[in-house]
């Protein structure tokens, strides 16, 4: 059966929205009709080669939809079920999984090298980050599915698959923000907006949002920011001025640029914690001298997928949503079609808006 999809023909090439041929789901696989898919900065990083992916590929890794058909041996899901796509399923067998660090699973992306579909002229296609959500329908391993939480609209639920798990997890699992602490979030895109809401849920006493765009202040404050700064060479000094000259307890960097990481680190108090969520290229080199590392006693840590266990965290997030503490719809600043994804990429590069959501 042919469906429309956004195909990346080669690294650096424009996306080609075209028809592709999906097979019937084989053993252990499930066909899903997408309701919505978020456009994440990681998709842009795949398209431009910052992150490596076999091509041609269908990108998109943040999505939700309805099960259309299941292959042999699939249990737990049936046609008509609402599902959230999980682009990084844990294998349960590797060293990281054995330590309980499922977000670092060595085999999480093994499916990205598979051929999952073909173009109408017979060219093999790979599933981007496992799930190929930039398409009307997709076929995925059953391990890439999570049940749609009760009471969550299917379209909004797409955001749970990356932005919310990442932003919430960065605050609650990686940075471990405690009630009364002060927090700065750098980058007010989809993940940054989720991190701001998570900091508010954690009970942070002051939440400073930082972005290059002054137009994002209203979005940031609605998400929980108590203060808003337009990024500049004085950002670290301004944050210290807002915190009694101490700096924040926690900085969450959602950009992935060397200058932003360094500024986030300098914005924390002595003994503070900086969590880096943004994905940067190998050219983004961050430097420190040995004396400042000793003197400041700060912690700098990376954060993959919010250090989350999606199966365990999704029910927690659903409770926050149902009880009004977490607002998914407010993360979305554009509702678009497949054909609009290149424009959404341009908006991300220009620092505009929060999350663009492809609605099918």
What is the pLDDT confidence band of residue 349, given thresholds at 50, 70 and 90?
Answer: confident
Domain boundaries of the chain, sorted by first residue: 2-161+327-359, 164-304
Q: Is 333 exposed, middle or buried (0-12, 13-18, 19+ CB in 10 A)?
A: middle
Q: Is 216 exposed, middle or buried (0-12, 13-18, 19+ CB in 10 A)?
A: buried
Could you report the per-residue pLDDT of 59-99, keeping only the tens digit for each? 999 999 999 999 999 999 999 999 999 999 999 999 999 99
Could you report the per-residue pLDDT of 185-232, keeping only the tens digit for each? 999 999 999 999 999 999 999 999 999 999 999 999 999 999 999 999
Same fold flag, 2-161+327-359 and 164-304: no
Q: Is 340 exposed, middle or buried (0-12, 13-18, 19+ CB in 10 A)?
A: middle
Predicted local distance difference test score (pLDDT) of residue 354: 86
What is the pLDDT confidence band of residue 1, given thresholds at 50, 70 and 90?
Answer: confident
Residue 348 has pLDDT above 90, yes or no: no
Q: Which residue has the tokens 């051929």?
A: 115
Q: Which fold has domain 2-161+327-359?
A: Quinone Oxidoreductase; Chain A, domain 1 (3.90.180)
Kindly report the CATH number that applies to the domain delimited by 164-304: 3.40.50.720
CA atoms within 13 Å, Cβ hemisphere of 16:
16
What is the pTM assigned to this prediction? 0.95
CA–CA separation, 15 and 223 (whole Å): 32
Residue 276 has pLDDT above 90, yes or no: yes
CA–CA separation, 209 and 82 (whole Å): 34
Give bridge partners of residue 139 from the DSSP assignment.
Answer: 31
Could you report the per-residue pLDDT of 122-155, keeping only the tens digit for each? 999 999 999 999 999 999 999 999 999 999 999 9
Average pLDDT, the chain: 96
Predicted local distance difference test score (pLDDT) of residue 353: 82
**For residues 322-344, average pLDDT:** 94
Residue 56 preceded by cis peptide, ω within 30: yes
What is the pLDDT confidence band of residue 53, given thresholds at 50, 70 and 90?
Answer: confident
């Amino acid at each position: 059966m042919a469906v429309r999809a956004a195909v990346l023909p080669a690294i650096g090439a424009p996306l080609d929205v075209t028809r592709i041929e999906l097979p019937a789901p084989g053993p252990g696989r499930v066909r899903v009709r997408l309701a919505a898919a978020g456009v994440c900065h990681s998709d842009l990083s795949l398209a431009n080669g910052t992150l490596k992916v076999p091509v041609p590929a269908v990108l998109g890794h943040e999505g939700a939809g309805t099960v259309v058909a299941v292959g042999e041996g699939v249990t737990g899901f049936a046609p008509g079920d609402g599902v959230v796509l999980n682009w990084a399923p844990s294998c349960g067998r590797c060293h990281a999984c054995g330590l309980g660090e499922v977000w670092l699973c060595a085999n999480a992306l093994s499916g990205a090298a598979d051929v999952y579909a073909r173009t109408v002229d017979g060219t093999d296609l790979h599933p981007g980050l496992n799930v190929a959500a930039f398409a009307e329908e997709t076929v995925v391993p059953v391990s890439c599915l999570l049940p749609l939480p009760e009471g969550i609209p299917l379209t909004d639920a797409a955001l749970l698959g990356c932005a919310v798990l990442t932003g919430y997890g960065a605050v609650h699992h990686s940075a471990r923000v405690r009630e009364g602490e002060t927090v700065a979030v750098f980058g007010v895109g989809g993940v940054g907006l989720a991190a701001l809401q998570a900091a508010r849920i954690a009970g942070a006493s002051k939440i400073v949002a930082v972005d290059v765009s002054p137009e994002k202040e209203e979005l940031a404050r609605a998400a929980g920011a108590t203060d808003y700064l337009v990024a500049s060479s004085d950002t670290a000094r301004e944050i210290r001025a807002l915190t009694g000259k101490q700096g924040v307890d926690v900085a969450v960097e959602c950009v992935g640029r060397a200058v932003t990481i360094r500024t986030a680190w300098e914005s924390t108090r002595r003994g503070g914690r900086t969590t880096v969520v943004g994905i940067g290229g190998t050219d983004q080199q961050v430097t420190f001298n040995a004396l400042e590392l000793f003197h400041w006693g700060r912690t700098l840590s990376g954060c993959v997928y919010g250090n989350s266990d999606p199966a365990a965290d999704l029910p927690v997030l659903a409770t926050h949503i149902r009880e009004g503490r977490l607002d998914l719809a407010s993360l979305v600043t554009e509702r678009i079609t497949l054909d609009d994804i290149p424009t959404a990429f341009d908006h991300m590069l220009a620092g505009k808006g929060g999350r663009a959501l492809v609605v099918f």
